[in-house]
Every structure is written in C-alpha cells, then in structure tokens.
Structure 1
Amino acid sequence: MIQNFPFYLVLIIIIVLLIMLANKIKVAYPVLLVIAGLIISSIPNIPVVKIDPELIFIIFLPPLLYEAAWAISWKELWKWRRIVGSFAFIVVFLTATIVAFVANHFIPGFSLALGFLLGGIVSPPDAVSAGAILKFVKVPKRMSSILEGESLLNDASSLIIFRFAMIAVATGQFIWHEAAISFSWMLIGGIGIGVLVGWLFMKGQKILPTDANMDTILTIVAPYLMYIAAEEVHSSGVLAVVSGGLLLSNNRHSFLSTSSRLRGINVWESLAFALNGIVFMLIGLELPEITSGLEGVSISSAIGYGLLITAVLVLVRILSAYGAVVITLIARNFITVADSRNPGFKVPAILGWTGMRGVVSLAAALSIPEKLYPGGPDFPQRNLILFVTFIVILTTLVVQGLTLPIIIRKVNLPEYDDHLPDEEAEDMIRRELAKLTVRHLHENHGELLNKSVFLQQIHEKWKGKIEEESDIKLSSETKNAYLNLLEAQRAWLIEQNHDEKQYFDEDLIRKHLMKIDLEEERMLLVH
C-alpha cells in the first residue's frame, strides 16, 4: 500500500482532470472514469488494484447515501412515494426474479438460487450516474425526483435479495416464513435504528455547546454509526442511513447553526465529489482482477452472458415504467394519486432508459466469498457472476450513459405544472419576503427603525429602493433586530415549503434559505 501511494495520488489528479473534461464536453463523468480505469489497468507494470468489498460497504456507501438523503427534497419524495416505492422495491424484486429464471435457463451450471443472487446484484440502478447525466439536460422535475428517490431505497431492497440468495446458495434451502420475518425486521429495524440514531444526534447537537467544526465532524460520523448499528442487529444499514439522513435533513434548521450549515455544505460537496470519483475509477481498474479468475468459460461466452443479462435489465425496466403508468391510470379511479394525467409514451421510455448500474452492484458481487464456508468447496460460479456484473455495469454506463442525453434532447419531453416557473417563483418569493420584511420591521421594531440608519437601509432595500449598504457600526440592539428579521424570513420560507398548496420547488426554497444563512453569517462577523 505505502509503495503504491504515489500511484494513488496520481489517480486522484487524473480523476479531477477527467471530471473537468466531462463537464466541458457534457458527458457524465462516471462514463469517462470507468473507461479511463479500463485503459489504465491495461498499462504494463501498473499496480493491480484489488477492491475490498467491505471498503465500499463501510467506507464509501454510508456517506454517499447520507449525502443523497440530505440533498433530496422530502416533499418531492413524499409526493411521488408510490412510484418511488414501486421502482425501489417491486421493480427491483421483479427484475431479480426475471434475471434469476433467465440465468437459470441460459447460463450453464446456474441454479435458480445463483440466478437470484445475480439478480439481487445487478437489479439496482445507480443514482450517481443518472444524476451526472441529467445535469446536462433539462428534464421535468418529477423525473429527477423519482430517480433520486428510487436510488435512495433500491440499494436496500437489492441487498436484501442478495442476502437471502446467499443463504439459499450456501444451505440449499429457502424457508419462506423465516425469510418473511427476517425481511420485515430488515425494513422496520433499519428505518427505526436510523431514525433513533438521527434523533439522538439531533438532540445532542441541539443541547451540547458544539461549534461549526464539531457539527461537521458529527455529520460525517452519523451515517457510519447508523449503518454499523443496523448491520450489527442484522437489519438494513442502507435504510438506516437513508431514514436517519432524511430526518436530520428535514430538521437541519432546528439543531444546526448557520455556520454549521454553511460549513457542512462545503465539506459534504467535496467529500461526495471525491468518493464518487474514486469508486467509478476503481470499477475500471478492477478488470484485470475480475478476468484473471474467469475459468471454465471463454471470454466471448462470458461477454455474451453479460450482454444477455443487460438486455433483460433494460427491457424489464422499460416495461415496468409503462406498467407503472397503466397502474396509476387505473388507481386514480380509486385513490388520490400524485398526478392523474396520462404522461404519454415519452416519459416512461426515458425513465426506463435510466437504469445505469454502478458501485453497489460491483461491491455486492465482490463480497461473494471464495468458499461456501471456511475450508469448504469453492463458491459456485463466483468468477462468472463477477464478470457478468462487470459487463452489465460497463455496458449500461457507456451505452445508456452516452445515449440518454441525446434521446432526452430528441424526444422533447412535456412541460408539467408541478412547480411555478423558476423566474415567476423567484419574483413571488422576493415579493413576499419584501412584504414580510417591511411588516416585521414596523410591527416589531418600529421605534428602533426610526433611530437606526442600518434598519432604515434594510427597510428601503426591501421596498425596492436598493442602495449599497454603508459600513456602519451597528449597535447590539440593531444587530439583534436584523437577526430577528432574518429568522422571520427563514421561518416563512420553511412554512411555504411545508405548505402543500404552494408549488415552490424545494431547491429554490433552499437557495433562498442559504442566502439568509450567508447574510446571517455576515452579520455575526460584524462587530
């Protein structure tokens, strides 16, 4: 490890340069990183990279899931909960089942249990890849919300299938009632532990005299504790991190100071950037390790099996997307759905084509032990499962990853009225904040307003007569009045976000909340 340290430093520099290139040519960076990893792995005398699956499951997965949970809109997740839940659980289970039967029928030596094992590995699409691609094209907010929500939960469902399939392969039996009890505990226990650990962190940071540095460190520690605590009691660590992350994200303004929120955003963006870049590069670098263990089957046959499974995954996802539309159109006659209109054929087609696979699939495949049990026979078809998984990841990333932006631009997706147009929403938020500001100053600080030049400037600024703020020495009373005003603005924005009658995009609300945080941080630095 130490002797290869310069190599890893160079890799990090290459990752940064490739992501810069990807942004410039408007290609999803996971595609370039995987291809670059393949190229680098073929260079003679390059150190062989061997990925420890525990490294991905313990080191990489918790913070990446946690960061995604903080970034997603809870309002959007709840609005589209039915479609998100169906893709994250029902479609994953359906995909794993179909892959199991196809593998059992077409791949020599593949039992049904091994087929389910492979299905559990390759069934969850990768969120990072889809997000990186959608960054360069305009898609309806509902589509990005559904993809983000699905990605938070599908890893949990696929790893549950993987765990049960591993037991079936090792023991040769599958007891349904035990599996049902275990499955229920993984769901309920994972969510419960995540919420409990998140609540403890929230209360602790609210009560204890922490500062921005301490709060940032605690947010980094939290997902690891959630994941480890859940896995220790054999529940879902993924669901624990997701549920705990959603709880803390939705209450961030109640227990984190302004400085902590601003500092945390910068730290987490950098951390997620680095971790995502490293894991996709590692996927490409892992090729020599995977192919070296491929025995008993030709490379061409193994590639064929991989392409067959890839085709099954794509077809099942597209058909599932159209099936979800049909079910929604039927269900609207009996229950209230998020949107009862027929989305046409374009949106389901795009949603179906977004199923790129990534790091969770590779980590699950690598975690298959070499022996069925210590000192026992070799795990059946382990190397072939690894190779097929790699082909699925590579094919979906490159083919779907490169063609998705082109298809989105060609099909001209419909516009929806889920949210007000950004410009209109911006104007409305500014107008309402201005009304609130003027009213708040008159009602709560009317006497001070007549004496404080600074508050008079703020008053005029929010009435539309924008002037440069002078470098005025503020009294403690004036500063507190302004901070109180900012808190009133923050409370109004949060209230609007929770109001189901409003159609403000939560990303826009968060943008204005950050502006208030920055202004509050600036005021706290004024002596």
Structure 2
Amino acid sequence: MIENLPFYLSLVIAIVLLIMLANKIKVAYPVVLVIAGLLMSFIPELPVLHIDPEIIFYIFLPPLLYEAAWSISWKELWRWRRIISSFAFVVVFLTALSVAFFANYFIPGFSLALGFLLGGIVSPPDAVSANAILKFVKVPKSMSSILEGESLLNDASSLIIVQFALLAVGTGQFIWYDAATNFGWMLIGGVGIGLLVGYIFMKAHKYLPTDTNMDIILTLVAPFMMYIAAEEVHSSGVLAVVSGGLLLSNKRHSFLSSSSRLRGINVWQSLVFLLNGLVFLLIGLDLPEITSGLEGVSISVAIGYGLLVTAVLILVRILAAYGAILVTLVMRNFIQVAQYENPGYKTPLIMGWSGMRGVVSLAAALLIPVSINGHPFPQRNLILFITFIVILTTLLLQGLTLPYLIKKMKIKSFITYLPDEEANQHIRTGLAKHTIQHLNEHYSTQFQQNKVLQQIAVKWDENMTSDADLEIPNDIKFIYLELLNEQRQWLLAKNKEDQNFDEDIIRKHLYKIDLEEEKLRFF
C-alpha cells in the first residue's frame, strides 16, 4: 500500500488535469476519465488496481448519495414523486426482467436467475454522468429534477434485485412471499433508520456545544452511520442515506449556523469532486482485472453480448419513458398530477437516452462471490465483462451524443416558473417590505432614533441593490442578526407556499443572507 502511495497521489493530480481538459473541450468529465483510465491500464508495469466492492458501497456511495440528497430540491422531488418513483422502481424492475429474458434466450448458459442478476446489476443509470453532461446544456428544471430524483432511489431498487437474484441462484428457488416481506423491510427499514439516525444527528447539532469544525465533522460522519446502521439490520443502506440526507437538508436552517453551512459547502464540494473523479478513473483502470478472468468465451463474442444487452437497456428505457408519459396523461383525468400538458415526443426521448451506467453497476457485479455452494459461481466473469461493456458503451455513446440531442430538440419545461430576473426582483421587494415592517413593529423606538437602523432600512428599501458595507455598532448587531433571521424565515415560507418560484433562486438568496451574517461576525 505505502509503496504505491506516489501512484495514488499521481492519480489525484491526473484527475484534476483531466477534468480541466474535459471542461476545456466541453465534454462531460466521466467520459474523459473513463477513456483516460482505459488508456492508462495499457501502460506496462502499472500497478494492477482491484476495486473492492465494499470500498465502493461503504466509502464512496454514502457521501455521494448524501451530498446529492442535500443538493436536490425537496419541492421538486415531491412535485415529481410519481414519475420519479416509477423510474426508480418500476422501470428498474422492468429493465432487469427484460435483460433476464434476453440473456436466458440469447446467451448460452444463462438461466433466468442469472439473467435477472445481470439485469439488476446494469439497470440503474448513473446520476453523476447525467449531471456532468447536463452542465453543458440548458435543460428544463422539470427534467433535471426527475433525473436527479430517480438517481437517488434507483441504486436501492437495483441492489435489492441483485440480492434476491443471488439468493435465487444459490438456492435454486424463488419464494415470492419471502421476497415480498424482505423487500418491504428493506424499503421501510431503510427509510425509517435513515430518518432516525438523521434525527439524532440533527439534535446533536442543535443541543451539543458544537462549533463550525465539529458541525462539519458530524455531517461527514452522518452518511456512513446511516448506511452502516441500515445494512446491519439487512435493510437498504442507500434508502437510509437518502432519507436521512433529505431530512437534514430540509431542516438545515434550524440546527446549523451560517458559518457551518457556508464552510460545509466548500468541504463537501471538494470531497465529492475527488470521489467522483476517482470512481470513473477506476472504472477504466480495472480493465486488466476484468478481462483476465474471462474464460470459455472469446473477447469478441463477449463484447457482442455486452453491446446487445446495452441495446436492450436503451430500448426498454426509451419505451418506459413514453409509457410513463402516457400513463401520466391518462391518470391526470382521475388524480392530480404535476404535469398538465402533453410534452410531445422529445422529452421522453431525452429521458430515455439519459441512461448512462456507472460505478454502482460495476461494484454490484464485483459483489458476486467467486464460488457458491462449493462450486464456481456460474458465468461470474462474463457478467462482470458484460457490465463493463455496458458502462463503457453508455458513457461513450449516450454521454457524447446527449448534449447534441438536447440542443437539437429544444425541449420545453412541464412547469413554467417565473423568469429569474422577475423572481429575483419579487424576492428583493418582498424581503424589503418584510424587513421594514418587522423594524416598525418590534423596534419602532430604536428605528426612529438610530441612524444605523435607518441606513439598514434604506438599504433594504432599495431592494438590496446597495453593496456598501455599513459600520454597525455592537448594540445594533443583535437587531440586525434578528432581521437576517426574519428574512431567512420569510424565504423558507415563500419557498414552501409559493409554487411559482424555482427553489434554486430561493437558495441563492438564503446563501446571500448567510454571507451577510458571516460578514457581520468579522466586521
């Protein structure tokens, strides 16, 4: 381990340089990193890397899921809950089932159980790939929210399928009522444990005498505790991290100080940047290990199987996207749904094409034991190789063409928010009125007598357009801090009650208030 430390450090530097290159040539960095990893794997005398699936699931996955849960808009997640749930659970199951029948029919030696195992492994699209690609093109908020929400949940559903398929292969039978009971426990137990652990951490932040450094450390520990606690009782660690992360994200302003929120953002952005870079580079670097175990079938034939499975995945996802829209259009006649108009053929096509696979699929394939019941696990190496081909093909084919497709289609949003400029002006005006009203109601005497408070009122009355810093005496600072907190509460209530505002706009104004509060502590 120590002798390879310079190599690992050089990988980190390579990741930074490669992402710089990806930004320069405007290509999603997962694509560049996987290609670079493939090329590096052919370098002679390079240390052979072994991806331990437990490292992926216990070290990489919890913080990546937790950060995604903190970043996503709860408002958008709830608005699109039906279509997100259908993609994250129903579509994943249908995809796994389709791959199972295809593999059983076309790939020699594949039983339905093995095909279902392969389907569960390759069914979940990768969130990081889609998000990295969407950075280079403008897509409607509705679409990006659905893709982000789906990616938070589909890993859990696919890993549940993998566990049941492994059990079926090992025992040679599938007892549906046992599977249904276990499935229910994994869902309910995962969500419940995540909420419980999240609640405990929230109270720890709120009532223990923590400072900014301690708060950040607790946020770093939280996702691992959620994941491990859920896995120890055989429920879903993924759902535990997602549910706990959503709880803490939604309540962050009630238990974290402005300093902890501001500094925590920087820490988490750097950590996730490094973890994402490592997982995609490792995919390419793992090629020698994957090909070395391929026996009994030629590489060309195995590549062909991988390409055919990829085609099945793409086709099923596109058909499922159109099916989901069709079901929504029918069901809106009976229940209230978020979508009110026909999105046409473009949106489902883009949704279907946004199905790049990533490191979770590779780690799930590596979870397959080498032997079972004293015999080699059937088709293990071929499943691993097909998974690698699926990841590589979807990243290169869909990852490189998705930006062009999005630009060509010019999709319109399902939901029309206020334009950013109009929304910002509305928020600034509302904050100004609310602040001055609060001053008049609670500090009328000081407001009439103190020039600093009058200057503050003028600043807000000008709709926050003045960036001039005010010299605020210590005896007035507590009033100003209360005003900032009032503005924060007004924004949070506005976001909850008014559906015309994109939550990203609200978060930008909350961030500005945190900056103002932090600045007040130093001046």
Please name the residue that 2:168 is paired with: 168
One-letter amino acid of the counterpart of residue 484, structure 1:
E
Please name the residue that 1:183 is paired with: 183
Structure 1 residue 521 and structure 2 residue 506: aligned?
Answer: no
One-letter amino acid of the counterpart of residue 404, structure 1:
L
Does the 8 Å CA contact 1:457/1:469 hold for their aligned counterparts? no
One-letter amino acid of the counterpart of residue 410, structure 2:
N
Q: Deviations over 1:468-501 (max 9, x none)?
A: 645635132x1011001001100000001111x4
One-letter amino acid of the counterpart of residue 480, structure 1:
F
One-letter amino acid of the counterpart of residue 523, structure 1:
L
Unaligned stretches of 5+ residues in structure 1 = none
Write the distance in 2 (CA, Å) between the matches of 1:21 and 1:455.
50
Taking a change above 3 Å as real, the CA distance of residues 112 and 474 of structure 1, as seen in their structure-2 partners, is: same
Query: How many residue pairs align between the two structures?
Result: 522
Please name the residue that 1:378 is paired with: 376
1:452 CA displacement: 2.8
Q: Deviations over 1:182-235 (max 9, x none)?
A: 010000000000000001111121111111111100111111011001000000
Does the 8 Å CA contact 2:341/2:414 hold for their aligned counterparts? no
One-letter amino acid of the counterpart of residue 377, structure 1:
H
One-letter amino acid of the counterpart of residue 414, structure 1:
K
Taking a change above 3 Å as real, the CA distance of residues 191 and 271 of structure 1, as seen in their structure-2 partners, is: same
Taking a change above 3 Å as real, the CA distance of residues 143 and 283 of structure 1, as seen in their structure-2 partners, is: same
Does the 8 Å CA contact 2:142/2:413 hold for their aligned counterparts? no
Write the distance in 2 (CA, Å) between the matches of 1:277 and 1:217.
22
TM-score with structure 2 setting the length: 0.98
Write the distance in 1 (CA, Å) between the matches of 2:444 and 2:521.
23
Does the 8 Å CA contact 1:88/1:153 hold for their aligned counterparts? yes
Q: Deviations over 1:137-161 (max 9, x none)?
A: 0111000000000000000000000
Write the distance in 2 (CA, Å) between the matches of 1:513 and 1:286.
43
Write the distance in 1 (CA, Å) between the matches of 2:349 and 2:468.
52
1:327 CA displacement: 0.4
Write the distance in 1 (CA, Å) between the matches of 2:231 and 2:416.
38
Structure 1 residue 273 and structure 2 residue 273: aligned?
Answer: yes
Does the 8 Å CA contact 2:194/2:226 hold for their aligned counterparts? yes
Write the distance in 2 (CA, Å) between the matches of 1:86 and 1:511.
31
1:502 CA displacement: 3.1
One-letter amino acid of the counterpart of residue 513, structure 1:
L
Structure 2 residue matching 1:27: 3-state secondary structure: coil
Write the distance in 2 (CA, Å) between the matches of 1:473 and 1:286.
59
Q: Deviations over 1:344-401 (max 9, x none)?
A: 000000000000000100000011111114xx11111110000000000000001100
Mapping of 1:52-63 within 5 angstroms? 52-63=52-63
Please name the residue that 2:48 is paired with: 48
Please name the residue that 2:424 is paired with: 426
Does the 8 Å CA contact 2:339/2:415 hold for their aligned counterparts? no
Q: Deviations over 1:45-91 (max 9, x none)?
A: 11111111100000000000000000001110000000000000000
Write the distance in 1 (CA, Å) between the matches of 2:467 and 2:53.
56
Please name the residue that 1:475 is paired with: 474
TM-score with structure 1 setting the length: 0.97
Please name the residue that 1:446 is paired with: 444
Please name the residue that 1:408 is paired with: 406
Structure 1 residue 463 and structure 2 residue 480: aligned?
Answer: no
Please name the residue that 1:206 is paired with: 206
Please name the residue that 2:368 is paired with: 368
Write the distance in 2 (CA, Å) between the matches of 1:90 and 1:470.
54
1:418 CA displacement: 3.1
CA RMSD of aligned residues (A): 1.2
Mapping of 1:55-204 within 5 angstroms? 55-204=55-204
Write the distance in 1 (CA, Å) between the matches of 2:325 and 2:467.
53
Write the distance in 1 (CA, Å) between the matches of 2:381 and 2:413.
46
Q: Deviations over 1:426-460 (max 9, x none)?
A: 11111111111222222222221233332222111
Write the distance in 2 (CA, Å) between the matches of 1:351 and 1:491.
36
Please name the residue that 1:511 is paired with: 508
Write the distance in 1 (CA, Å) between the matches of 2:499 and 2:333.
25
Write the distance in 2 (CA, Å) between the matches of 1:468 and 1:494.
23
Does the 8 Å CA contact 1:84/1:150 hold for their aligned counterparts? yes
Structure 2 residue matching 1:4: 3-state secondary structure: helix
Does the 8 Å CA contact 1:328/1:340 hold for their aligned counterparts? no
Write the distance in 2 (CA, Å) between the matches of 1:225 and 1:460.
48
Please name the residue that 1:394 is paired with: 392
Write the distance in 2 (CA, Å) between the matches of 1:331 and 1:251.
33
Unaligned stretches of 5+ residues in structure 2 = none
Write the distance in 2 (CA, Å) between the matches of 1:229 and 1:278.
26
Write the distance in 1 (CA, Å) between the matches of 2:415 and 2:141.
10
1:411 CA displacement: 1.0
One-letter amino acid of the counterpart of residue 457, structure 2:
H
Q: Which runs of 4+ in 1 moved over 6 A?
A: none
Does the 8 Å CA contact 1:457/1:467 hold for their aligned counterparts? no
Mapping of 1:305-320 within 5 angstroms? 305-320=305-320
Write the distance in 2 (CA, Å) between the matches of 1:333 and 1:511.
37
Structure 1 residue matching 2:43: 3-state secondary structure: coil
Write the distance in 1 (CA, Å) between the matches of 2:68 and 2:171.
36
